[in-house]
Amino acid sequence: MKKFTMPNTQIEAPNVVLGLMRIPDKTDDEIRDLVRTARDAGIDFVDHADIYGDDLHGCERRFAEAMHLTPAERDAITIQTKAGIVGNGPYFDFSYEHLIESVNGSLDALQTDHIDILLLHRPDALVEPEEVARAFDELEAAGKVRSFGVSNHTPRQIDLLKRFVRQPIVANQVQFSITHAPIVTQGVAANMLDEQQSVTLDGGGIVDYCRLHDITLQAWSPFQAGFFTGVFLGSPEYPKLNAVIDRLAAQYDVPPIAVATAWITRHPAQMQVVLGTTSPDRVAGAALGSDLPLTRPEWYELFRAAGHLVP
């Protein structure tokens, strides 16, 4: 497993991490098996959110109940969670009160005294960055949160936060897979009048902005074809893409999921792949993509096979 020091943190992070959004109905044994398989593969970084699960903090609670981490085991894992979405609306809330309440709820559910990284989950149109700054300062001073980041944020939204927030923004978690890739495909076909791919869907240069500002990009839904539309791996809707994935998988002697993972880890922005599978076998397979050195021609062949334009 390839590891790197996350800029502006003390965290030695793997470039493939375990998302736990889909565990609410899993048994304790299934959760333990999933996390153990991930740990064996070098994945010691988990991604949560307050809203994951049927109830508020449901997945965080299931994780803690199943794992019963000792203090040493807790310290050996990076726990990231998110705040800012109110599920029963839905709407977004970056107010001081909401952020403090959410983090206290996460600490309680996770049975821990600190969160390693807190992400603001989705941009709040009514954000008042001074309030976010007050919440971050208080959470940091109390030792409740060590590092802060965002998710689904545009460069300008991050700039607005940074005008008031003192702590570095260390991560931006965004949707990214071979098939759902506007954050990289747009730049390849910029300024072409008749191409949908030229349309800026990310507020302008998320990837370049994050690289320039040492913000680690994290790719959520790395195998979903679109917005929770099912995976492209093995899908009859993507025959060309799967043919290339399968050929490369055979060539590198890895499962296809490793090639789909490697397409993301190969990007020099040093992104983290946020796995969502609850299958230990798939986690082990994806982990093999952590350090798979796809060549430039191979990376672009996958890009083209997914239907993206190389002008």
Give me the residues that bind ligand NAP (CB under 6 A), please: 19-22, 47, 151-152, 173, 220-224, 231, 233-234, 257, 274-279, 282
Shortest reach from residue 274's CB to ligand NAP, in Å:
4
Q: Which is nearer to ligand NAP, 33 or 138 (CB)?
A: 33
DSSP, collapsed to helix, strand or coil, labels residue 198 as helix
Shortest reach from residue 231's CB to ligand NAP, in Å:
4
Comparing every residue's Cβ against ligand NAP, the nearest one is 276
Q: Which is nearer to ligand NAP, 157 or 173 (CB)?
A: 173
Long-range contacts of 275-278 (CB under 8 A, 24+ apart): 275/16, 275/17, 275/18, 275/19, 275/43, 275/222, 276/19, 276/21, 276/22, 276/220, 276/221, 276/222, 276/223, 276/224, 277/22, 277/223, 278/22, 278/23, 278/26, 278/30, 278/34
Q: Which is nearer to ligand NAP, 22 or 74 (CB)?
A: 22
Q: Which is nearer to ligand NAP, 234 or 311 (CB)?
A: 234
Shortest reach from residue 141's CB to ligand NAP, in Å:
26
Rg of the chain (C-alpha set): 19
What pairs with residue 277 in β-bridges? none
Q: Which is nearer to ligand NAP, 195 or 246 (CB)?
A: 246
Shortest reach from residue 117's CB to ligand NAP, in Å:
12
State whether the Cα torsion 27-32-38-41 is positive or negative: negative
CA distance 106 to 234: 36
Shortest reach from residue 187's CB to ligand NAP, in Å:
22
H/E element holding 5? strand 3-5
DSSP, collapsed to helix, strand or coil, labels residue 304 as helix
Shortest reach from residue 176's CB to ligand NAP, in Å:
10
Q: Which is nearer to ligand NAP, 20 or 249 (CB)?
A: 20
Query: Tell me, what DSSP letter sits at residue 270?
Result: T
CA distance 295 to 266: 9
